[in-house]
């Protein structure tokens, strides 16, 4: 992976992709661009899945804590 590819990994940069496409004068360059797009889309999907997993775990923890608090409260009264 080139330095330019690594420096722009954080998010989609459509202007960058357009520039890379304009510079892709041969099939090998176009294939590298396609591979880059695939990698970045896969990375974004993985990040979205991780965020979803974190949110689900947080919701489960909150529900468990609140559920335990309710049981303790009802047992005291």
Provide the residue ranges of all domains of the chain, joining segments of one domain with +: 3-76
Which helix (H) or strand (E) covers residue 29, if one does?
helix 27-76
- How much is the pLDDT for 45? 87
Rounded CA gap, 2 and 10, in Å?
15
Structure tokens given for 20: 């890379």
- How much is the pLDDT for 54? 95
User: pTM of this prediction?
Assistant: 0.49
Per-residue pLDDT of the chain (77 residues; tens, 9 = 90+): 454 444 444 566 778 888 888 898 899 999 998 898 888 888 888 889 999 999 999 999 999 999 876 655 556 55
């Amino acid at each position: 992976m080139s330095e330019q590819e690594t420096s722009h990994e954080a998010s989609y940069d459509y202007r960058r992709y357009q520039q890379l496409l304009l510079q892709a004068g041969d099939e090998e360059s176009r294939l590298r661009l396609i591979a880059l797009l695939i990698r970045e889309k896969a990375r974004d999907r993985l990040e979205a899945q991780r965020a979803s997993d974190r949110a689900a775990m947080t919701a489960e923890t909150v529900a468990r804590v609140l559920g335990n608090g309710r049981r303790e409260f009802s047992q005291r009264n």
